[in-house]
Structure formats: C-alpha cells, structure tokens
Chain A
Amino acid sequence: MFIDEPTENADDIDPFEALNVSTTAPAVRGASLLDALGEDDDEDEPSEEEGEVIATLEMGGMMEMDEEIVESIIPLDEAGVIEEEEDVDPFEELGAMRPNVVESTNTNVNDALAAFMDEDEYQGPENTIVFEGEDATEDEPIEQEEVEEKIQVETEKPRAQPEELYRFLLEGVWIDDVLDPAEVALMARKRRELGISFETHLKVLKQVLHD
C-alpha cells in the first residue's frame, strides 16, 4: 500500500481537529479575548452571532462579510476607528465664531512683511534726528565707510593709457600748424618716458591728423 493512495476515510478527517489547532481567525480570536476581558459574564458561552462568524470563516467567506456583522462583533468606536463625517467642530460646539484666517497664497508678500516685522534681524542705523550740539556718533562710521569707498573707487579708476597721453600731446604740437625742432625734441623725450615706439608714434600721428 502506497502513501499517495487515497483512503476511503480521508475526507472525513479534519487535520486541524486531529492536530488540536484552532481554526478561528487570529483577529477574531483577539477580539474575543478583548471581549472576555471587558465582559466577564459572557466569557463562558459564545454568542450565537459569534458562532455564525466562526462558521463563516470556516467556510472561507471572510471576504463576503457585511460591515454590519463586523461592527456587531467589533464595535468601531471601541476599536478606535472614527468616521470623518462625525468630526466635531469645537467652535460649533461652543457656539463661537471661527477666527478669520486669511490664507495668502503669495509667499513673497508674507516674506516681505516678515522681513519688515522681524526687528531682531534689522541691524541698520535708526532714523534719528540729530540736533545741533549733539554728536552723531552712530553715523560717523558710516560716513567713514562712504569716504573709504569713494577713495577705493577713485583708485580703481584706470589711469590714462600712454598712447592716449601721447596723442593728447601730439594734438597740442600741431595747434600752431607748424612743427619745429623744439617740439620734435619734446615729443622724442615723451616717447622715451612713456615707452612708446616710433611705429606707435606714427600710428597715433595718423589718427590725430585724420580725425
């Protein structure tokens, strides 16, 4: 006789029963345990409805359970599930008006206002009126900074290029329309001082004469 051969009484034997294992769903068992803790009177005998549910579970009809049945077994209120429709408005309950909250979608406005309202972050000088005889000690550093900035800007200005300076001198040479040896000697000295080559001199001279 082989093991795989079906026996005549195989359908009659419940393996759960044979192994002494409960067929009740864990959730239901948990709920029943909770009920047992909450109601001492009913701990011995399960109700008829619970019997039906267990039977349903045994038949594999868990998916077809009605909400009414589930609620009858596990009250939703007790399980902590509260419907959204039943949200209680505390203002309505107290009979008070809701505060007028304007929700602005413009975040820039809020930020700008917040920047103005946030006094802690403002570090600039206050608008104060200084009368005669009073020392404006707070403004002095600012004035010094302004002066320093001006000096810095002036020093950063590009100096006149040697070519521009030489061009200016050449224009002066031709003012009387006649070139003499003294002027030529002066321009030759200036070329040496400014580091201008003779080729550059000719180029600048052309520009001066053709402008």
Chain B
Amino acid sequence: MSVLFRHALDLAWSDGRLSKRGAILLENFQEILELSDSQRSVVEEKHHLQVIPHLIPRGLGSGASTLDQWMTSLMDLDDELPRYLTSMGRQSLETGISKQAWIEGFAAAERMKCEFEFARGVWEPEFEVEILAWPEVLDPVAKSLGLVLEEE
C-alpha cells in the first residue's frame, strides 16, 4: 500500500522542497492508487517524521518533474505489469521472502490491480513463470521485496 506512495513522496521532496505542482501530482497519484485520506496520512506522517527533517533544501521543488516522469512510466507499463509482478513474486520466493516483504509487495500489486498475478508467482510453484528483468520504474516494489538492496 505504502510502497508506491512513499516513493512518490521521496521524488516530490527530492530537492528538499515540495512545489505546488508536486503537491497536485501527489493528489492525483493518491486517486490513481485509490488511497483513502487516512491511508495517505499514515504514509505521509511517517515520511514527514523520518525523511523530511534530514533533507537539505537545495532547489524549488524540482522533484515534481521527476515524480511526473515516474508516474507516466508506471502507467505506460499497463499490459506488461502483470507479467513483471508475477516474475518479481517468483524471484522473491527463490531468494526467500519475508512476511513484511510479502505484505508490502502484495499491497503494492493490489494498488496496481495485479495482486492475483503477483500471488501466483509466489504461491503456485506449478505455475510456470518467465523470469524477467523488471523495469526501473518498479524498483520501489523490488526493494520492498528484497530483490534490490536499498543502497543500490
């Protein structure tokens, strides 16, 4: 649930400031993910407490452009998104998926309406899955699944 919106917040605040455009894009993304205000507030409050105090302002909210590009890329995946998520699920199982990773990965897939495909990749060993290299736009999901180290 929070993986994708948390990444959107990181992008919007990437130069230490949030522009008006960035705020509007966050509003739009909230609607795309069908997040409730309370669900958004949980993620946003955590971000304000843990991330923003450590940011050094060095721009005027240029992160909005980065957020816009990422959102566009994510939307462009469309038909290929289920295949990527199935593959990511299978790869996470092979590396060993923790309970928290499963919860976050499933919630993200649910927001993208591909939860069934992701779950099949993890829980149906007889289901043949093509192992794919996921696109960079899905890095936040891959990080939550433990497929990518945070430092990378």
Contact = CB atoms under 8 A, between A and B. Distances in A.
B99 interface: yes
B125 A179 contact: no
Interface string A153-195: 0000000000000000000001001111100110110000000
Contacts of A202: 115-116, 119
Interface string B88-130: 0000011011110011000000000001100110111110000
A188 B125 CA distance: 8
Identify whether the interface residues of B are mostly helix, strand, loop, or mixed. helix
A140 to B, nearest CB: 56
A181 B124 contact: no
A209 interface: yes
A178 B99 CA distance: 6
Given A181-B125, A188-B124, A209-B103, A198 B97 contact: no
A19 to B, nearest CB: 118
Please classify how large the interface on chain B is, using the bins under 10, 10 to 19, 20 to 34, 35 or more.
Answer: 10 to 19
A174 B101 CA distance: 12
A198 B126 contact: no
A177 B123 contact: no
Contacts of B122: 179, 184
Contacts of A209: 99, 102-103
A181 B98 contact: no
A177 B146 CA distance: 14
Contacts of A184: 93, 122-123, 125
Nearest to A182: B125
A179 B123 CA distance: 10
A198 B98 contact: no
A177 B125 contact: no
B98 A178 contact: yes
B126 A188 contact: yes
A48 to B, nearest CB: 122
B82 to A, nearest CB: 15
A202 B96 CA distance: 19
A179 B96 contact: yes
B24 to A, nearest CB: 33
B96 A188 contact: no
Nearest to B92: A179
A160 B125 CA distance: 27
B40 to A, nearest CB: 20
Given A177-B98, A181-B94, A198 B125 contact: no
Nearest to B96: A178
Contact of A198 (B99, B103, B124): B124
Nearest 10 interchain pairs by C-beta: A178-B96, A185-B125, A179-B97, A174-B99, A177-B99, A178-B98, A184-B125, A177-B98, A184-B123, A188-B125
21 contacts: A174-B99, A177-B99, A178-B98, A179-B93, A179-B96, A179-B97, A179-B122, A181-B93, A181-B125, A184-B123, A184-B125, A187-B123, A188-B123, A188-B124, A188-B125, A198-B119, A201-B123, A202-B115, A202-B116, A202-B119, A209-B99
Interface of A: 174, 177-181, 184-185, 187-188, 198, 201-202, 209
Interface of B: 93-94, 96-99, 102-103, 115-116, 119-120, 122-126
